Structure 1
């Protein structure tokens, strides 16, 4: 994976956010599954650590609701909500609480989710962000996403939607969630970097590589998918990923366009935008 050009572009963006004397800034990093978000985020944190800038990492995947809560949603709202993925399957309030604590300058526990178990890690095992953290990196596949217009939800985009959400209830629920509390969470982002896949067709292969790494780490245990399971799973992310590929580049602060091998085809940096707020009540 060639991430050096992507890393340098986003590091420059992060550097503009952590000006001396500024309070907590939140850097969003978005991109399809397997696009290299975690690698870039970890690289930025390493750079910030080397500079002595207190920095913390939070993935939106670590905000997934516990399995029991998703099973409740599956029973009460729609069966597809058992599967982690779309808006409506995250604990947005938990993410906001982390940001609020860090904004106050307090240390904060950072949630963690075990994908191999498909459940949240016990809170006692969460790492802690330090007090006086100046940069929080919030990364994830749908970070910064905006809802679709209601009329765009009518036609299914794949077999999963056509066969398992024929009446559109699931995608309408996810879209309504995205239009609600998720916008409050994403509204806390001071700058957004977007790693743009060439199209959605490559995402299943990229996500398959992640699954292979998880299998090497955890074996063929619970939560590790075979090819057929992965193909169905990735369809949960199809609609919003395509929507983001179409509309996010026009508004992201940095856009890194990727080729199929995840090398960098080009970088668009919209320049320094001093969007770090000075109002502590924000």
Structure 2
């Protein structure tokens, strides 16, 4: 059993196994890393890029977070559709077309820039500040809901948690997000060559893992006001429905499943 601490590295063998079939000169590939909040996706993505470089491969990371709509666009959705759409992250709050254009450029080995989102400023950085890449062998695409699929409408009728019960009683927000997930995201998921899913034991670990992540962020930037434990509890409820759906479906549809225990130790890689 191998340990993958929240702020530490994953076992080197994990990155190596995910890169096992990629060789210099192969056609560019897109490796997707899907995992619920706090599973360590960005840490693993960075390790894969480092391991790839050691093998003579050119690799870079694109995060689903970097495709967020700016605050102004989300506030317009909040005004026109539902107030909960002011919160970034759920389906419908990403610029999917931008992600597809980046992947197309990588596949063509064309020079392109990788978008970067400023979470403190709640806006995408100006394009001139995006890192430029050219001739990539591998794009590591990581995100909390990569590969997730929409639910049947009947499954949306009953609220899943306090957020849905108290702030989306009529189901407008969850139905809108579900429709966006069904309509807009399949082409983006379909552009992934290999999808790895970091599978926690259940959604119940997510609030604690996200709280650990928040404390690490606050320690790294003590002048920045973060969320307290109660705010984290409410925050993760925005993602609970899609997360639970992913836990049901991705173990069967992902190409690689990395099963974790509650301490993020690797139980198996399938």
State if a TM-score over 0.5 links the two structures. Answer: yes
Q: 1:10 to 1:255 in 2, by over 3 A?
A: farther
Query: Secondary structure of the residue that 2:38 maps to in structure 1?
Result: coil
Distance 1:167 1:153, change over 3 A: same
* TM-superposition CA deviations, 1:208-259 (whole Å, max 9, x none): 111112212333536x222222111110010111111111101211111111
> Given the alignment of the two structures, is residue 46 of structure 1 paired with residue 47 of structure 2, yes or no?
no
Distance 1:184 1:175 in 2: 15
2:177 paired residue number: 174
The equivalent position to 1:68 in structure 2, one of 64, 68, 72, is: 72
Judged with a 3 Å threshold, the aligned counterparts in structure 2 of structure 1 residues 45 and 20 are, in CA distance, closer, same or farther, namely: closer
Q: Report the Cα distance in structure 2 between the residues aligned to 1:6 and 1:29, rounded to whole angstroms.
A: 16
- The number of residue pairs the alignment matches comes to 265
1:157-197 Cα deviation digits (max 9, x unpaired) = 10001111111111111111111121111100011100001
- Equivalence map 1:88-237=2 (5 Å): 88-129=92-133, 131-221=134-224, 224-237=226-239
Aligned to 2:3: 2
Return the alpha-carbon distance in structure 2 between the equivalents of residues 115 and 210 of structure 1: 15
**Where do 5+ consecutive residues of structure 2 fail to align?**
none
Provide the C-alpha distance between the structure 1 equivalents of 2:40 and 2:160, rounded to a whole number of angstroms: 25
Are the counterparts in 1 of residues 15 and 47 from structure 2 also a CA contact under 8 Å?
Answer: no
1:6 to 1:76, Cα distance in 2 relative to 1, 3 A: farther
Provide the C-alpha distance between the structure 1 equivalents of 2:219 and 2:248, rounded to a whole number of angstroms: 34
Q: Deviations over 1:47-85 (max 9, x none)?
A: 101111111101101111111111111011110000011
**TM-score normalised over the length of structure 1:** 0.89
Q: Distance in 2 between matches of 1:28 and 1:240?
A: 17
C-alpha distance in structure 2 between counterparts of 1:5 and 1:117, whole Å? 30
Mapped partners of 1:220, 1:191: distance in 2:
39
TM-score normalised by structure 2 residue count: 0.93
Instruction: Give yes or no for contact 2:195–2:255 (8 Å, CA) kept in 1.
Output: yes
Q: Measure, in 2, the Cα distance between the counterparts of 1:231 and 1:195.
A: 21
Q: Which stretches in structure 1 are left out of the alignment for 5+ residues?
A: 269-282
Give 3-state SS (helix, strand or coil) of 1:236's partner.
coil
- Displacement over 6 Å in runs of 4+: none
Q: What is the match of residue 254 of structure 2?
A: 252
**Deviations, residues 20-53 of structure 1 (Å, cap 9, x unaligned):** 5422111110011111111111111001011111
Query: Are residues 1:77 and 2:78 paired?
Result: no
Q: Does the 8 Å CA contact 1:10/1:193 hold for their aligned counterparts?
A: no
